[in-house]
Amino acid sequence: MGMNETGKSLFYYMNKSLNISYIEYNGMGAFITCIEGVCQDSSHYWFLFTNGNFANVGASSYYPKPNDNITWEFMSLNESKFSGSNK
């Protein structure tokens, strides 16, 4: 996904280039629920990581910078990357 337009959110790029589903929350922005047909369920969700760290904002509030490493992980709340454990 090319992110060469300045001032655009990650959500903008995702919505333009990928098949995504989302829920819009007033004051919080878009919460990604499906990416390319892989959808959240009662125990697994999509989590955004930027430059190796859990993002404290959603895709609609994140504005990529050159050389950012952006990844989405489909996992449960108990998995090590989110909980901070070193398993």
Asked if residue 4 belongs to a domain, the reply is no
Asked if residue 24 belongs to a domain, the reply is yes
Return d(Cα 56, Cα 62) in angstroms, integer: 9
Give pTM, 2 decimals.
0.79
**pLDDT for 71 beyond 90:** yes
- The encoded tokens of residue 4 equal 């060469």
Determine the pLDDT at residue 28: 77
Q: What is the CATH number of the domain that holds 69?
A: 2.170.130.30
Q: What are phi and psi of 46, to 5 degrees?
A: -90, 130
pLDDT averaged over the chain?
A: 86
**pLDDT for 26 beyond 80:** yes
Determine the pLDDT at residue 86: 44
Asked if residue 84 belongs to a domain, the reply is no
What average pLDDT does range 58-62 have in this prediction? 92
What average pLDDT does range 9-35 have in this prediction? 92
Q: Write out the residue range of the structural domain in which residue 25 sits.
A: 10-78
Asked if residue 5 belongs to a domain, the reply is no
Return d(Cα 61, Cα 80) in angstroms, integer: 25
Number of domains in the chain: 1
What average pLDDT does range 45-52 have in this prediction? 94
